[in-house]
């Protein structure tokens, strides 16, 4: 499972002109699922994103977590995180999990983050979404569960 985290002042997702989810300060999370991913990957990453100390304290140091600041998360499914772009000009997405598996693990990840006490908003799996955000920092991290389990 691969995540792109962006620390945001606010973020929203629109589907067919309607706001599907919006948050104030916290994390905008793009979430990609590949074939080999399991619930273990989603549980590990859910715990990691709520505990990462990437928010500034009173001295401007990154010492606070999403839980510490009582931040929110906007979690968007993003199969294109597993694009293979090395050959040719059109990326291949064969590494991404099939839709049923991808959606199940994405939803499991969302529920895991919620269970930690974080307010979570989402888009809709498989939908054409327009995401807006005000990046804070900017602070952007890429997390891959396979790096932990190698």
CA-wise closest residue to 113 among 26, 38, 34: 26
CA-wise closest residue to 2 among 85, 96, 73: 96
pLDDT of residue 147 exceeding 90, the answer is: no
Instruction: Confirm whether pTM is higher than 0.85.
Output: yes
- Cβ proximity of 26 and 72 under 8 Å: yes
pLDDT of residue 146 exceeding 90, the answer is: no
- Cβ proximity of 46 and 19 under 8 Å: no
pLDDT of residue 148 exceeding 80, the answer is: no
Q: Which of 6, 44, 55, 78 is catalytic?
A: 78
Specify whether 79 is catalytic. yes
CA distance 51 to 133: 22
Q: Which of 80, 93, 140, 149 is catalytic?
A: 80
Q: Which of 6, 44, 55, 79 is catalytic?
A: 79
Angle between helices 99-115 and 39-51 (to 10 degrees): 40
Is the domain spanning 2-148 CATH 1.10.3720.10? The answer is: no
Specify whether 80 is catalytic. yes
Least confident of 23-27, 103-107, 133-137, 146-150: 146-150
Mean pLDDT computed over 80-107: 93
CA-wise closest residue to 2 among 143, 135, 148, 150: 143
Residue 76's CB: how many other CB atoms inside 10 A? 23
């Amino acid at each position: 499972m691969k995540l792109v985290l962006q620390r945001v002042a606010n973020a929203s997702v629109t589907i067919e002109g309607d706001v599907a989810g919006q948050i104030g300060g916290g994390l905008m999370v793009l979430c990609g699922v590949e074939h080999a991913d399991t619930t273990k990957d989603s549980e590990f990453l859910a715990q990691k994103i709520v505990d990462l100390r990437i928010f500034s304290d009173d001295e401007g140091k990154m010492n606070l977590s999403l839980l510490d600041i009582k931040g929110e998360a906007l979690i968007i499914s993003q199969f294109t995180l597993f694009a293979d772009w090395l050959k040719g000009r059109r990326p291949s997405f064969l590494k991404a999990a099939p839709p049923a598996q991808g959606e199940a693990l994405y939803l499991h990840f969302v529920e895991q983050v919620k269970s930690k006490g974080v307010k979570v908003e989402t888009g809709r799996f498989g939908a054409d979404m327009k995401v807006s955000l005000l990046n804070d920092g900017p602070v952007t991290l890429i997390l891959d569960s396979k790096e932990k389990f190698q």
